[in-house]
Structure 1
Protein backbone atom coordinates (compact mmCIF):
# COMPACT_ATOMS: atom_id res chain seq x y z
CA UNK A 1 0.00 0.00 0.00
CA UNK A 2 1.43 3.35 -1.08
CA UNK A 3 1.04 6.28 1.20
CA UNK A 4 0.49 9.71 -0.21
CA UNK A 5 3.87 11.03 0.94
CA UNK A 6 5.84 8.19 -0.72
CA UNK A 7 3.94 7.86 -3.98
CA UNK A 8 5.06 9.86 -7.00
CA UNK A 9 3.15 13.06 -7.73
CA UNK A 10 0.20 12.93 -10.10
CA UNK A 11 1.21 13.29 -13.72
CA UNK A 12 4.59 11.72 -12.98
CA UNK A 13 5.60 9.53 -15.89
CA UNK A 14 8.33 7.05 -15.19
CA UNK A 15 10.72 6.68 -18.10
CA UNK A 16 13.67 4.48 -18.78
CA UNK A 17 15.87 7.47 -19.56
CA UNK A 18 18.22 8.56 -16.81
CA UNK A 19 18.16 12.02 -15.31
CA UNK A 20 19.82 14.62 -17.55
CA UNK A 21 23.54 14.87 -16.92
CA UNK A 22 25.19 18.18 -16.32
CA UNK A 23 27.75 19.15 -18.89
CA UNK A 24 31.21 19.09 -17.37
CA UNK A 25 33.13 22.35 -17.32
CA UNK A 26 36.58 21.08 -16.45
CA UNK A 27 39.51 22.95 -14.95
CA UNK A 28 41.33 23.37 -18.26
CA UNK A 29 38.38 25.33 -19.65
CA UNK A 30 38.39 27.95 -16.86
CA UNK A 31 40.47 31.02 -16.06
CA UNK A 32 41.38 30.17 -12.48
CA UNK A 33 44.40 32.12 -11.29
CA UNK A 34 44.62 35.79 -10.50
CA UNK A 35 47.46 36.12 -13.03
CA UNK A 36 45.36 34.67 -15.88
CA UNK A 37 42.35 36.80 -15.01
CA UNK A 38 44.43 39.97 -14.70
CA UNK A 39 46.12 39.21 -18.03
CA UNK A 40 42.69 38.98 -19.68
CA UNK A 41 41.70 42.34 -18.18
CA UNK A 42 44.99 44.07 -19.01
CA UNK A 43 45.79 42.65 -22.43
CA UNK A 44 42.35 41.79 -23.72
CA UNK A 45 40.01 43.49 -26.14
CA UNK A 46 37.02 44.92 -24.29
CA UNK A 47 33.61 44.35 -25.86
CA UNK A 48 30.34 45.58 -24.39
CA UNK A 49 26.65 45.05 -25.01
CA UNK A 50 23.58 45.59 -22.87
CA UNK A 51 23.99 42.42 -20.81
CA UNK A 52 27.68 41.55 -20.76
CA UNK A 53 31.18 43.00 -20.76
CA UNK A 54 33.86 40.74 -22.27
CA UNK A 55 37.62 40.95 -22.23
CA UNK A 56 39.02 38.64 -24.91
CA UNK A 57 42.62 37.83 -25.67
CA UNK A 58 44.22 35.07 -27.72
CA UNK A 59 44.99 32.01 -25.63
CA UNK A 60 47.95 29.67 -25.67
CA UNK A 61 48.35 27.84 -29.01
CA UNK A 62 47.05 24.29 -28.82
CA UNK A 63 45.28 24.91 -25.51
CA UNK A 64 41.49 24.97 -25.14
CA UNK A 65 39.62 28.25 -24.89
CA UNK A 66 39.16 29.32 -21.29
CA UNK A 67 36.33 31.22 -19.62
CA UNK A 68 36.26 33.31 -16.47
CA UNK A 69 33.02 34.60 -14.96
CA UNK A 70 32.37 37.54 -12.68
CA UNK A 71 28.84 38.01 -11.40
CA UNK A 72 28.60 40.56 -8.60
CA UNK A 73 26.13 40.67 -5.73
CA UNK A 74 24.39 43.54 -7.49
CA UNK A 75 22.95 40.94 -9.89
CA UNK A 76 20.97 39.33 -7.08
CA UNK A 77 21.14 36.75 -4.34
CA UNK A 78 23.22 33.57 -4.57
CA UNK A 79 20.49 31.68 -6.42
CA UNK A 80 20.20 34.38 -9.10
CA UNK A 81 24.00 34.69 -9.47
CA UNK A 82 24.43 30.93 -9.82
CA UNK A 83 21.66 30.80 -12.43
CA UNK A 84 23.39 33.55 -14.45
CA UNK A 85 26.72 31.72 -14.23
CA UNK A 86 25.14 28.41 -15.26
CA UNK A 87 23.45 30.06 -18.25
CA UNK A 88 26.71 31.72 -19.30
CA UNK A 89 28.64 28.43 -19.07
CA UNK A 90 26.03 26.65 -21.20
CA UNK A 91 26.08 29.48 -23.74
CA UNK A 92 29.90 29.37 -23.83
CA UNK A 93 29.84 25.68 -24.68
CA UNK A 94 27.16 26.24 -27.32
CA UNK A 95 29.31 28.97 -28.94
CA UNK A 96 32.25 26.64 -29.56
CA UNK A 97 31.89 26.98 -33.34
CA UNK A 98 32.35 30.76 -33.05
CA UNK A 99 35.77 30.26 -31.45
CA UNK A 100 38.09 29.00 -34.19
CA UNK A 101 41.19 29.69 -32.08
CA UNK A 102 42.07 29.35 -28.42
CA UNK A 103 40.77 32.36 -26.50
CA UNK A 104 40.93 33.54 -22.91
CA UNK A 105 37.63 35.27 -22.17
CA UNK A 106 36.63 37.06 -18.99
CA UNK A 107 32.88 37.76 -18.75
CA UNK A 108 31.31 40.33 -16.47
CA UNK A 109 27.52 40.19 -16.15
CA UNK A 110 26.05 43.68 -15.98
CA UNK A 111 23.94 44.08 -12.83
CA UNK A 112 20.62 45.38 -14.09
CA UNK A 113 20.55 43.43 -17.36
CA UNK A 114 22.28 40.11 -16.65
CA UNK A 115 20.95 37.26 -18.80
CA UNK A 116 18.32 35.26 -16.92
CA UNK A 117 18.16 32.23 -19.20
CA UNK A 118 20.43 30.32 -21.56
CA UNK A 119 18.81 31.72 -24.69
CA UNK A 120 19.52 35.32 -23.62
CA UNK A 121 23.06 34.42 -22.62
CA UNK A 122 23.66 32.63 -25.91
CA UNK A 123 22.35 35.56 -27.94
CA UNK A 124 24.44 38.08 -26.01
CA UNK A 125 27.64 36.02 -25.95
CA UNK A 126 27.46 35.04 -29.63
CA UNK A 127 26.90 38.70 -30.56
CA UNK A 128 30.09 39.72 -28.76
CA UNK A 129 32.12 36.81 -30.15
CA UNK A 130 31.05 37.75 -33.69
CA UNK A 131 31.99 41.34 -32.96
CA UNK A 132 35.44 40.18 -31.83
CA UNK A 133 35.87 38.02 -34.93
CA UNK A 134 34.93 40.96 -37.16
CA UNK A 135 37.47 43.18 -35.40
CA UNK A 136 40.20 40.60 -35.80
CA UNK A 137 39.32 39.84 -39.42
CA UNK A 138 38.32 36.25 -38.71
CA UNK A 139 35.46 34.61 -40.50
CA UNK A 140 32.84 33.01 -38.30
CA UNK A 141 31.10 29.82 -39.43
CA UNK A 142 27.68 31.15 -38.42
CA UNK A 143 27.62 33.65 -41.28
CA UNK A 144 27.65 32.53 -44.89
CA UNK A 145 30.55 33.56 -47.08
CA UNK A 146 29.79 36.45 -49.47
CA UNK A 147 29.03 35.39 -53.02
CA UNK A 148 31.66 36.05 -55.63
CA UNK A 149 30.70 38.23 -58.58
CA UNK A 150 27.41 39.51 -57.19
CA UNK A 151 27.07 43.27 -57.22
Structure 2
Protein backbone atom coordinates (compact mmCIF):
# COMPACT_ATOMS: atom_id res chain seq x y z
CA UNK A 1 0.00 0.00 0.00
CA UNK A 2 2.44 2.70 1.16
CA UNK A 3 6.14 2.51 0.45
CA UNK A 4 7.47 5.69 2.07
CA UNK A 5 5.76 7.72 4.81
CA UNK A 6 6.93 11.18 5.82
CA UNK A 7 6.27 11.98 9.48
CA UNK A 8 6.95 15.64 10.27
CA UNK A 9 7.33 16.38 13.96
CA UNK A 10 7.76 19.43 16.16
CA UNK A 11 8.37 17.42 19.34
CA UNK A 12 4.91 18.09 20.76
CA UNK A 13 2.81 15.43 22.47
CA UNK A 14 0.45 15.46 19.47
CA UNK A 15 3.43 14.73 17.22
CA UNK A 16 4.54 11.93 19.56
CA UNK A 17 1.20 10.20 19.09
CA UNK A 18 1.39 10.66 15.31
CA UNK A 19 4.90 9.15 15.26
CA UNK A 20 3.67 6.03 17.04
CA UNK A 21 0.69 5.74 14.69
CA UNK A 22 2.96 6.23 11.69
CA UNK A 23 5.37 3.55 12.86
CA UNK A 24 2.47 1.14 13.34
CA UNK A 25 1.10 1.92 9.87
CA UNK A 26 4.58 1.47 8.37
CA UNK A 27 4.92 -1.93 10.04
CA UNK A 28 1.52 -3.03 8.73
CA UNK A 29 2.18 -1.86 5.17
CA UNK A 30 5.90 -2.58 4.92
CA UNK A 31 6.73 1.09 4.43
CA UNK A 32 9.81 3.10 5.25
CA UNK A 33 9.52 6.08 7.62
CA UNK A 34 11.15 9.41 7.00
CA UNK A 35 11.11 11.61 10.10
CA UNK A 36 11.38 15.35 9.54
CA UNK A 37 11.68 18.39 11.73
CA UNK A 38 11.97 21.95 10.48
CA UNK A 39 13.69 24.78 12.31
CA UNK A 40 13.69 28.43 11.30
CA UNK A 41 16.98 29.80 9.99
CA UNK A 42 18.97 32.39 11.92
CA UNK A 43 17.73 35.93 11.35
CA UNK A 44 19.63 39.05 12.38
CA UNK A 45 16.35 40.77 13.20
CA UNK A 46 14.10 38.56 15.28
CA UNK A 47 11.79 38.54 18.27
CA UNK A 48 12.79 34.94 19.08
CA UNK A 49 14.87 34.95 22.31
CA UNK A 50 16.95 32.00 21.07
CA UNK A 51 18.06 34.05 18.08
CA UNK A 52 18.59 37.28 20.02
CA UNK A 53 20.88 35.60 22.53
CA UNK A 54 22.96 33.65 19.98
CA UNK A 55 25.53 34.08 17.29
CA UNK A 56 24.70 32.37 14.00
CA UNK A 57 27.05 29.49 14.86
CA UNK A 58 25.57 29.05 18.34
CA UNK A 59 22.04 29.14 16.95
CA UNK A 60 22.86 26.52 14.32
CA UNK A 61 24.37 24.24 16.95
CA UNK A 62 21.35 24.66 19.25
CA UNK A 63 18.95 24.03 16.35
CA UNK A 64 20.86 20.88 15.37
CA UNK A 65 20.81 19.58 18.96
CA UNK A 66 17.10 20.31 19.31
CA UNK A 67 16.39 18.55 16.01
CA UNK A 68 18.36 15.50 17.17
CA UNK A 69 16.29 15.34 20.37
CA UNK A 70 13.03 15.68 18.45
CA UNK A 71 13.99 13.14 15.80
CA UNK A 72 15.20 10.61 18.38
CA UNK A 73 11.51 9.83 18.98
CA UNK A 74 11.09 8.86 15.32
CA UNK A 75 14.19 6.66 15.49
CA UNK A 76 12.95 4.99 18.65
CA UNK A 77 9.47 4.31 17.25
CA UNK A 78 10.88 2.96 13.98
CA UNK A 79 13.28 0.64 15.77
CA UNK A 80 10.51 -0.57 18.09
CA UNK A 81 8.26 -1.27 15.08
CA UNK A 82 11.21 -2.79 13.21
CA UNK A 83 10.71 -0.66 10.11
CA UNK A 84 13.34 1.02 7.96
CA UNK A 85 13.72 4.72 8.59
CA UNK A 86 15.79 7.79 8.02
CA UNK A 87 15.64 11.24 9.53
CA UNK A 88 15.86 14.69 8.00
CA UNK A 89 16.41 18.12 9.52
CA UNK A 90 15.42 21.05 7.32
CA UNK A 91 15.78 24.75 7.90
CA UNK A 92 13.25 27.18 6.51
CA UNK A 93 10.84 29.97 7.31
CA UNK A 94 7.88 28.04 5.97
CA UNK A 95 7.58 24.60 7.58
CA UNK A 96 4.69 23.47 5.38
CA UNK A 97 6.73 24.16 2.24
CA UNK A 98 9.68 22.22 3.66
CA UNK A 99 7.36 19.32 4.55
CA UNK A 100 5.91 19.17 1.04
CA UNK A 101 9.25 19.54 -0.73
CA UNK A 102 10.88 16.87 1.47
CA UNK A 103 8.01 14.48 0.79
CA UNK A 104 8.20 15.14 -2.94
CA UNK A 105 12.00 14.87 -3.13
CA UNK A 106 12.05 11.65 -1.07
CA UNK A 107 9.33 10.02 -3.17
CA UNK A 108 6.88 9.72 -0.28
CA UNK A 109 3.40 8.46 -1.03
CA UNK A 110 1.93 9.62 2.29
CA UNK A 111 2.47 12.44 4.77
CA UNK A 112 1.27 11.49 8.25
CA UNK A 113 1.18 14.41 10.65
CA UNK A 114 -0.43 15.60 13.84
CA UNK A 115 -2.97 18.31 14.27
CA UNK A 116 -2.90 20.39 17.42
CA UNK A 117 -6.63 20.97 17.10
CA UNK A 118 -6.55 24.74 17.48
CA UNK A 119 -9.89 26.20 16.56
CA UNK A 120 -11.51 29.56 16.26
CA UNK A 121 -9.49 32.74 16.51
CA UNK A 122 -6.47 30.97 18.02
CA UNK A 123 -6.25 28.64 15.03
CA UNK A 124 -6.76 31.51 12.63
CA UNK A 125 -4.10 33.73 14.22
CA UNK A 126 -1.51 31.03 14.79
CA UNK A 127 -2.16 29.33 11.50
CA UNK A 128 -1.88 25.63 11.05
CA UNK A 129 1.02 23.98 9.30
CA UNK A 130 -1.17 20.89 8.97
CA UNK A 131 -3.89 22.91 7.25
CA UNK A 132 -1.33 24.46 4.89
CA UNK A 133 0.06 21.03 4.01
CA UNK A 134 -3.47 19.76 3.38
CA UNK A 135 -4.24 22.67 1.06
CA UNK A 136 -0.98 22.68 -0.90
CA UNK A 137 0.18 19.05 -1.05
CA UNK A 138 -0.42 16.83 -4.05
CA UNK A 139 0.71 13.91 -1.87
CA UNK A 140 -2.01 12.35 0.31
CA UNK A 141 -2.00 13.60 3.92
CA UNK A 142 -3.23 11.61 6.91
CA UNK A 143 -3.93 13.83 9.91
CA UNK A 144 -3.63 12.13 13.27
CA UNK A 145 -5.40 13.56 16.33
Using the size of structure 1 for normalisation, the TM-score is 0.27
Larger-Rg structure: 1
Using the size of structure 2 for normalisation, the TM-score is 0.28
Larger RCO (alpha carbons 8 Å, 6+ apart): 2
Return the structure number with greater helix share. 2
